[in-house]
Amino acid sequence: EPEVTQTPSHQVTQMGQEVILRCVPISNHLYFYWYRQILGQKVEFLVSFYNNEISEKSEIFDDQFSVERPDGSNFTLKIRSTKLEDSAMYFCASGGRSSDTQYFGPGTRLTVL
Amino acid sequence: SQQGEEDPQALSIQEGENATMNCSYKTSINNLQWYRQNSGRGLVHLILIRSNEREKHSGRLRVTLDTSKKSSSLLITASRAADTASYFCATDLYNFNKFYFGSGTKLNVKP
């Protein structure tokens, strides 16, 4: 069964450093998403992406964040200058249609020191 | 805000009993989805119910949706210890490609 994959599973970085989180969505999906979950808290929507552009973003997704689909298979989330409060699990998801079932990857645990 | 909110926050039952979790939301939706998350792991999609549907079944899961009350329920019948996890509902905003998760119900099924 096709699945969403994410790398790395765990990323440790120093405050102020840039990180890139990578995702490979399910191959025939057209809609892509990033979410984050701070330890013990709810899953929060960050951004949705369709047709090579952002379709929706939350207030969390400020200028420090960017997304890209560089090569037709990968979907990346970049955090330009990490802060302590960016420490969280970051989940990528993909879906075949808007407002359809989203399939989540296993997550990347980001730890900012 | 749009977020779905689950109720109860925590539920502890014996194996074999049924577990019911509720979700309420605030604005019109296209669909509502239920997910399970084992501690520290990813989200597993359980079931999607569209706004024009009232009930759906999948194995031991039964989901209802009442759009007039803006609420949904997830029933797990004949629970097993392996059902121990957090359960989340997620709603979209009608005509917007963004999704909101509730805080979840933490289910503990005792063997």
Q: What is the pLDDT of residues B42-95, one digit of tens each?
A: 899 999 999 999 999 999 999 999 999 999 999 999 999 999 999 999 998 766
Identify the CA nearest to A74 among candidates A99, A106, A52.
A52
CB contact under 8 A, B88 and A42: yes
Distance, CA of B39 to CA of A5 (rounded, Å): 19
For residue B97, give the nearest of A55, A105, A106 by CB distance.
A55
How many cross-chain Cβ pairs, A to B, lie less than 8 Å apart?
56
Contact residues on chain B for A106, CB-CB shorter than 8 A: 41-42
Task: Examine the pLDDT at B1 and tell me if it is beyond 60.
Answer: no
Instruction: Please give the pLDDT value at position B13.
Output: 96
State both tokens at B18: 């049924």
Question: Taking a C-beta distance cutoff of 8 angstroms, is the pair B52, B63 a contact?
Answer: no
CA-only gyration radius of chain B, Å: 13
Interface of A to B at Cβ within 8 Å reads: 31, 33, 35, 41-45, 48, 50, 55-58, 91, 93, 98-107
Distance from CA of B29 to the nearest CA of A (A): 9
Instruction: Please give the pLDDT value at position A70.
Output: 85
Instruction: Please give the pLDDT value at position B95.
Output: 63
Mean pLDDT in residue range B17-26: 94
Instruction: Please give the pLDDT value at position A19.
Output: 97
Distance from CA of B16 to the nearest CA of A (A): 28
Distance, CA of A26 to CA of A45 (rounded, Å): 19
Q: What is the pLDDT of residues A6-22, one digit of tens each?
A: 999 999 999 999 999 99
Identify the CA nearest to B36 among candidates A47, A50, A104.
A104
Model confidence at B5, in pLDDT bands (50, 70, 90)?
Answer: confident
CB contact under 8 A, A48 and B98: yes
Identify the CA nearest to A7 among candidates A106, A103, A102.
A106
Instruction: Please give the pLDDT value at position A18.
Output: 97
Distance from CA of A10 to the nearest CA of B (A): 12
Question: Taking a C-beta distance cutoff of 8 angstroms, is the pair A33, A97 a contact?
Answer: no
Contact residues on chain A for B44, CB-CB shorter than 8 A: 104
Nearest CA in chain A to B30: A99
Distance, CA of B32 to CA of A100 (rounded, Å): 9
Distance, CA of B103 to CA of B32 (rounded, Å): 15
CB contact under 8 A, A58 and B102: no
Which regions of chain A are under pLDDT 50?
A: none
A37-A39-A45 Cα angle (round to 5): 10
Identify the CA nearest to A102 among candidates B59, B89, B37, B33.
B33
